[in-house]
Chains A and B, each alone.
Chain A
Amino acid sequence: MPWLDKIRNAFRRSNEELDEELQAHLDMRTDQFLAEGLPPKEARRRAQALFGNTLLQRERARDADVAGWMDALLQDLRYAFRMVRRTPVLTAVIVLSLALGIGANTAFFTLTNALLLKQLPVRSPEQLVRVELGQPGQADWGDAFTNPLWEEFARRQQVASGAFAYSSQSFNAGTKGETRPVTGAIASGHVFETLGIEPEAGRLFTADDDRRGGGPDGPVVVLGYDYWARAYGLDPSVIGRSVPLDGKPYKVIGVTPPRFHGILVGQRFDVMVPLGTETYRTADPKFLDSRTYWMLSLVVRLKPGMTPPAASDRLSAMAPGMMEAAAPQNRTPKMHAEFVANRLRVVPAAHGLTLVPDSFRSAVLLLNGFVALVLLIACANVANLLLARATARAREFTVRMALGASRRRLLRQSLTESLLLALSGAALGLLMAEPAARALVALSGRSRARLEFDLTPDWRVLLFTTGVGVLCGLLFGLAPAWRAARNSLTPRSPGVAGDGRGRLRGSLVALQVALSVVVLVGCGLFVTTWRNLNSARLGFDPTHLVIARVDLGTLEMDQDQRAAAVEEVRRQLQATPGVEAASVSILTPLGRSTWNSMIMAQDGSGNRREHETFYNAVSPGYFQAMGAPLLAGRGIEPGDTKGSTQVAVVNESFVRKILGGGNPIGRTFEEGVDLSSTGYVLRKVQVVGVVRDTAYHTLRKAPPPTMFRALSQARRLPYVSFAVRGPEEVEALQSIVRAAFKSMGDRFSYTLETYPQRLRDETVTERLLAALSTLFGALALGLAGMGLYGVLAYSVAQRSGEIGVRMALGASAGHIRRWILRQSGVTLSAGFAAGVLLALWMAPLAKALLFGIQTSDWRVYAYSLGVLAAIALAASYLPARRATRLNPVQALRHE
C-alpha cells in the first residue's frame, strides 16, 4: 500500500536510506574516475559535478517518497511542541483553563447524555413505547393508570408483541423498629420477557408468578445486581432464601444483569416484585381493584411493522370500551362522561421513563448553557493570550515568510498549535468530567430519593469532548492565525499606536464582559431565588421538631384498630420525658404528598359552590406540636370522635377564598366522601377553628385552602406521621423518639425525618443552581478581569512612546490615569450593553426555575454592573500605575 508507505515515511526524520543510495552513486562514479587515473580529489569533484545539486535531488526524491500533507503536519506538530516547551507557564495556564472549561462542559454533557440521550440497555429499545391517556385537544396527557385500566388494556390491546405495567415504591427491608428503605419496583409478569432481559443468576419472574398473592413459588422477588452486591456481597446462596419486604417474607428467585437498572431514568431498583403480590405486601385488599389509585406506567413493545401513530389510532379506537369497563364508580354523570372520553396514545420510550423532576432537567440544561458561556469566555481569554504572543512572535513569522513560507502554511502552523493546546485541554477535561458529573448527581439527590444515573462515558461523550476541543481550537486559534498569516514583511516600529491589534483584543474583552453579564445575571437570579425560598414563610416552627412516618398499609388491622393504635402510641410519646407535644396526622407540611377533597360551601353572599380543597386529618395537639398558632376557635380535641359532630379546623385562605371571609366559627359546609359502603355522599362538617396559613406540600406555592379534619373522622388511614416537639435540638430529640418507640416494643416500623433535612431536599435544585452559578460567575469574572488587564497592560506597553511624549509635553499623572480608565470604561460599557441585551433575551429560559423574582429585575442588572465595574477598576489599577510611573526620557529613548 503505497499511501501507507508514504505516511510511514513521513515519520522518518532523516532518510538514511536515500542518503546511502545517493552516496553509493557518487562513490561508484568516483571509483570509475579513479580507475581512469584521476587524482582522488579531482575524481570526487568531477563525480559531484556530473551528479548536480545533491541536496535538491535528495529533497525531490524524498518528496516522491512521503505524503506531503503528513510531512507538513508532523513538521507543524514538532514545531508546536517546541513552542509549548519554550513557554511552559503560558501553555500550562492555557491548557488548564481549557481543561476546566471543557471538563465542566463534558461533565454536564455526561449528565444530559444519561438524562436524555442514552437508550435503555434492553433488546431493541427503539420498539418500546409508553402509553398516555388524555382528552383529545388538551395539552397535558397523563401517563399513570389504575390496575383495572391496565387489566382491561392488557386484555384488549392488539398492537403489542409484549406489554407490562410498572411502578416504583420504597419498601422497608428491615424487620423491626426504624425502617431500612430499599427502592422497590413493581411490575407485571411480562416485564422481563418484553424487555428481553436474561437473568444474571437464578431466574426472573414470569406471568406465572404474577398472581394475586403469589404464583407457584409464592410471593417472589428479583434482586437488582447493585443491591445484590451491596446487601449480599454477590452471594449466590441468597437465591431461594426468604427476605422481608414491608414485614412480609418474599422468596428470592434471581438477579438481573449489572447493566439493567429498571426503566426509570434517575433511579435504580433494588428489588422487583410481581404486581400481583401487592395484595400480599399491603394489607389493603382493594389495592389492585381500586379504580382511583393511579400508580402504574404502561410500557409496550410494538409489533413489527406497527408505527406509533398507527398504534395510537388502534388504541384510541378501543379506549371507550376500556374506560367504560374500568371507570371509577359513584361519580356524577358529568365526571363519568369526562372519564369515558379519555383516549390513548403512545410515545417513544427507548430512553426509558423519566422520574427526574422537570425542574432538575431544566436546571441541567440551563447549567449546560452556563458552562458553555464560561468556556466561550475562556476561549476569548486564550485567544487574547495567543494574540499577545503572536505579537511577540511577529519577528519570527516575518523571518519565516522571508524564507519562503506561504501564508497558508503559516496559517496552518498557527492553527496546529491552537488545536494541540485545545485537544490537550480536552483530554485533561475528559478525565475530570466523570468525577465531576458524579459529584453533581450526589449534590442533587434528595436524602430519601437519591438520583442514580449511568454516567460511564460512551461514544457520545468522547465525540462531544473531541468536537468541543476542535471547536475551541478553531475559535481561539483563528484570530492569532489570521494575524500570523497577514503579517507583512516590512518590520514594524514598536511603540506606535493604531496597528489594529488593540482593537481586536479590545473587542474580545468586550465579548467576555458581555458573556459575563449573562452569567452574573443568572447567578443573581438563582441566588435570590434560593434566598427567597429559604426565607419563605412556613407558618409553623420547623425547629425542635421530629417527624416519624409510619406505613399502616402493611398492618392487618381495620381502620378503627389503626386509629386506636396510633392514638395509643401518640399518648405514650406525649408522656415521654423530653417531649413537650406529640401529635399524629396523615400528612405533615412539605411531606411531598397531597390529599384533596371536594366540598360544597356557601360563600359570603350565600352562593353554594363546589370547591377542591387540600385535606389533612390530625389528632388533638397537632397545632401545638407543629407550632402553628390558632387564630380563632379551638383545635381538634379528644372529644371529637368518630361518632360526634364532624368538625374541621380551616386555614386563613380557606376562610378567604371559600367562605368569603367573616367569622367562620360554627359555619358548616359539605364534604364529598366516597365510602365503599354507601358510595359517594355529602357529609356536613362544622368549622370549629381557624389556623394560620402554613406551607402544604411545597414552598413554591402560596398555602392553598386547607381543612384539617379530626383524625378519628378521617376517610382512610393508610399511613400517618407522628410529630414530636421538645426543648432539645433535633439530633437529641431523634434519639428520644427512637428510645420511646423501642420502649413500646417497636410496634411500628418508622422513618424519622426532620425539617432541616426536608427544607434542604425541598430546595435541592435551587441550591445546586445557586452554588454552581456563583462558581461559574466567579470564574467568568476572573477570566474577564484577566482579559481586561491583559489588553490594558499591552496597550500601555505598546504606547509607552506616546505616553512618554504626552508626559514630556506636560500631561499629568491624572491625565494618563483617566486615559487608561476611559479605555477600560469604553470596553466595559460596550460589553455591558451587549450583555444586558443578551441576558434580557435569554433570561425567560430560566423563568420556571425562579421564585419570588422577575427575570427583568433591575437590581440584578445593577449589581452585575457594579461587580463588573469593580473588577474593571481592579484590572486597570496596575497598568495605570505603570503608565504614570513611566520615565518620559526612557520611554522616548526606547523608541
Chain B
Amino acid sequence: MGRHDNDRLQGTLDLLVLKVLASRGRLHGYGITLLVQQISEEELKVEEGSLYPALHRMAQDSLISAEWGTTENNRRARYYEITAAGRQRLQEEEEKWARLTSAVARFLKYA
C-alpha cells in the first residue's frame, strides 16, 4: 500500500531533518539523528528507525538527494544533502510552523 501518513510528528520530523541538512550540509542518517537529539536537547525523542522512511520519502520527492560516502571512521554510509526544492519546502514549513506556534501561544496566553 502507499505511504504511511503518520500524525503531525511526521511533518515535524521532516521539518527538523530539512533544517539540520540546510544548516549543516551533507550528513548521514546517524549524524542527523545525533544532531536532532543534540539540538532539541533530547526533548524530541522518537524511535531512531522512523527517520529512515522519512528520509527515503523526501529523497523520492526530490527534497533531498542521497549518495553513498565514507565516514571519518572509514565506514560506508548513505549521505543526504538538501536540494533547492528542499530549501523552498523548508521555508514554507518554517513559516507554517511559526504561524501555528504563535497561534497556539496566543491561545494559551489569552484563553
Contact = CB atoms under 8 A, between A and B. Distances in A.
Interface stretch (B15-23, B53-61, B89-97, B98-106): B53-61
A25 B30 CA distance: 5
B50 to A, nearest CB: 6
B48 A52 contact: yes
A60 B51 CA distance: 10
Given A2-B60, A5-B60, A24 B53 contact: no
B40 interface: no
> Taking each of A21, A52, A56, which has the highest tally of chain B beta carbons within 10 Å of its own beta carbon?
A21
B47 A51 contact: yes
A442 to B, nearest CB: 56
B52 A22 contact: yes
B29 A21 contact: yes
B33 A24 contact: no
A52 B51 CA distance: 11
Nearest to A17: B78
Nearest to A47: B48
Contacts of A56: 49
B109 interface: no
Contact of A2 (B49, B53, B62): B62
Contacts of A54: 49
A18 B62 CA distance: 18
B56 A61 contact: yes
A411 to B, nearest CB: 16
B47 A50 contact: yes
Contacts of B49: 22, 25, 51-54, 56-57
Contact of B53 (A5, A17, A20, A61): A61
B33 to A, nearest CB: 7
B8 interface: no
A136 interface: no
Contacts of A68: 1-2
Interface string B67-104: 00001010111100000000000000000000000000
Given A51-B49, A52-B47, A63 B33 contact: no
B74 to A, nearest CB: 12
A541 interface: no
B76 A64 contact: no
Interface in A1-21: 2, 5-6, 17-18, 20-21
A24 B77 contact: yes
Interface stretch (A27-35, A421-429, A580-588): A27-35
B30 A60 contact: no
A334 B4 CA distance: 90
A20 B47 contact: no
Nearest to B33: A25
Interface in A144-196: none
A284 interface: no
A64 B48 contact: no
Contacts of A60: 4, 50, 52-53
Contacts of A6: 60
A24 B47 contact: no
A454 interface: no
A567 interface: no
Nearest to A54: B49
B97 to A, nearest CB: 23
B56 A64 contact: yes
Contacts of A18: 52, 56
Nearest to B47: A52
Contacts of B55: 61
Contacts of B4: 60, 63
A21 B50 contact: no
A63 B1 CA distance: 7
A28 B56 contact: no
Contact of B30 (A24, A52, A58, A61): A24
A65 interface: yes
B82 to A, nearest CB: 16
Contacts of B29: 21, 24-25
Contacts of A21: 29, 52, 77-78
Interface string A53-93: 11011101111110010000000000000000000000000
Nearest to A28: B30
B75 A24 contact: yes
B61 A63 contact: no
A76 to B, nearest CB: 14
B48 A50 contact: yes
B3 A53 contact: no
A2 B30 CA distance: 25
Contacts of B71: 28
B30 A29 contact: yes
A63 B3 contact: yes
A411 B106 CA distance: 53
Contacts of A53: 47, 49
Contacts of A22: 49, 52
Nearest to A55: B49
A73 to B, nearest CB: 14
Contact of A65 (B47, B56, B76, B77): B56
A17 B78 CA distance: 9
B50 A57 contact: yes
> Taking each of A2, A5, A28, A56, which has the highest tally of chain B beta carbons within 10 Å of its own beta carbon?
A28
A414 B91 CA distance: 48
A24 B28 CA distance: 10
> Taking each of B30, B49, B61, which has the highest tally of chain A beta carbons within 10 Å of its own beta carbon?
B49
A796 to B, nearest CB: 43
A60 B53 CA distance: 5
Contacts of A5: 60
Given A54-B49, A63-B3, A64-B3, A24 B61 contact: no
Contact of A52 (B2, B50, B61): B50
Contacts of B30: 24-25, 28-29
B89 to A, nearest CB: 15
A40 B48 CA distance: 20
A795 B108 CA distance: 73
A609 B55 CA distance: 102
Given A52-B50, A64-B56, A64-B57, A20 B76 contact: yes
A786 to B, nearest CB: 41
A62 B76 CA distance: 20
Given A5-B60, A24-B28, A64 B75 contact: no
A29 B60 contact: no
Nearest to A66: B60
Contacts of A51: 47-49
A27 B75 contact: yes
24 contacts: A2-B60, A2-B61, A2-B62, A17-B78, A18-B52, A18-B56, A21-B77, A22-B49, A22-B52, A24-B30, A24-B76, A25-B29, A27-B75, A28-B73, A28-B75, A50-B48, A51-B49, A57-B47, A60-B4, A62-B56, A63-B2, A64-B60, A65-B60, A68-B2
Interface of B: 1-4, 28-30, 33, 47-50, 52-53, 55-57, 59-62, 71, 73, 75-78
The 3 closest A-B pairs by CB, nearest first: A52-B47, A60-B53, A57-B49
Given A5-B60, A22-B49, 9 more contacts: A2-B60, A21-B52, A24-B28, A25-B29, A25-B52, A28-B73, A61-B53, A63-B2, A64-B59
